[in-house]
Each structure stands twice: as C-alpha cells, then as structure tokens.
Amino acid sequence: MSSIRIVSPDEVVKTAGAIPPLLFANLKSLYSRRAERLRQLAEDHPLGDYLKFAATVVNAQSHAQHDNPLKIDLTDTLKTASDAGRPPLSVKTFPRSQHWQTLLAAIIAELEPEAPEHV
C-alpha cells in the first residue's frame, strides 16, 4: 500500500498554515562550516579556484553578519508575505534597507583587496 494520498484543495488550504516554521542553523558555526567544506571540495577539483573564492565570500558574509547583527524582527513581514502568497523577501515588495546596504558594503570591502584587477 502506498503512503501517498491525494488531498482536495480545501484540505491543502486547511493544513498549509500548520506547517512549522523553519529552524535556522546556528549562525556562529554555519558560515565557518560552509567555508571549510568549500575549501575541502576545492582540493584537486577542476573548479578549485572558484570553490576557494566561494569560501572567501562565505567568510566575508560571516564577518559582515557578525559585525552588523540584524536588529529588526521580520516575523510580521514574513507572515504578511506568506498570507499573500508572495516570496518572503521579494525584491519587488521588500525594500533593501540601510542594514542590507551596510552588509553588502562590508562584504564588498572585504572581497575587494583579493579581487583581480580586471574585476
């Protein structure tokens, strides 16, 4: 017997709101684990340079979020978007705040010294 069951659209609507929220990874270790994994993958890989660059980007993200922690609660924003069936942080409906701009500037500032001159 199959465990797959076809449900009516009404049932889907009733249960869709009961999905538990995502549990986000611990940011203290998320970036370091990710960067470490990318460096491991880079060893003897044809795209090793790219994977090393990706690890550098991850380190920059880690430093940016550590130095500029998010100080606003996005719960209401995420719920409103979910209720309206929109992506949670859509570029069309969620303006890029000063905080977002600060994070981007911090990441670019950290990556710029290592970027090739033509970039």
Q: How many domains does the chain have?
A: 1
pLDDT at position 77: 82
Q: How far apart are CA 30 and CA 25, in angstroms?
A: 6
pLDDT at position 55: 96
Q: Which of the residues in the chain have pLDDT under 50?
A: none
Cβ–Cβ under 8 Å, residues 110 and 60:
yes
At 103, list the tokens.
Answer: 């994070």
107 within some domain = yes
Q: How far apart are CA 12 and CA 18, in angstroms?
A: 10
44 within some domain = yes
CA dihedral 102, 57, 66, 36 (to 10 degrees): 170
21 within some domain = no
Q: How far apart are CA 62 and CA 73, in angstroms?
A: 20
pLDDT at position 91: 81
76 within some domain = yes
5 within some domain = no
The separation between the first and the last C-alpha atoms of the chain, rounded to the nearest angstrom, is 58
36 within some domain = yes
**Full residue range of the structural domain in which residue 52 is found:** 29-114
pLDDT at position 88: 79
Q: How far apart are CA 107 and CA 5, in angstroms?
A: 46
Closest to 65 in 3D by CA, of 106, 113, 112, 110: 106
- Structure pTM? 0.68
17 within some domain = no
16 within some domain = no
**Residue 113 DSSP class:** G
Q: What is the pLDDT of residues 10-38, one digit of tens each?
A: 777 666 666 666 667 787 788 999 999 99
pLDDT at position 104: 95
pLDDT at position 44: 94
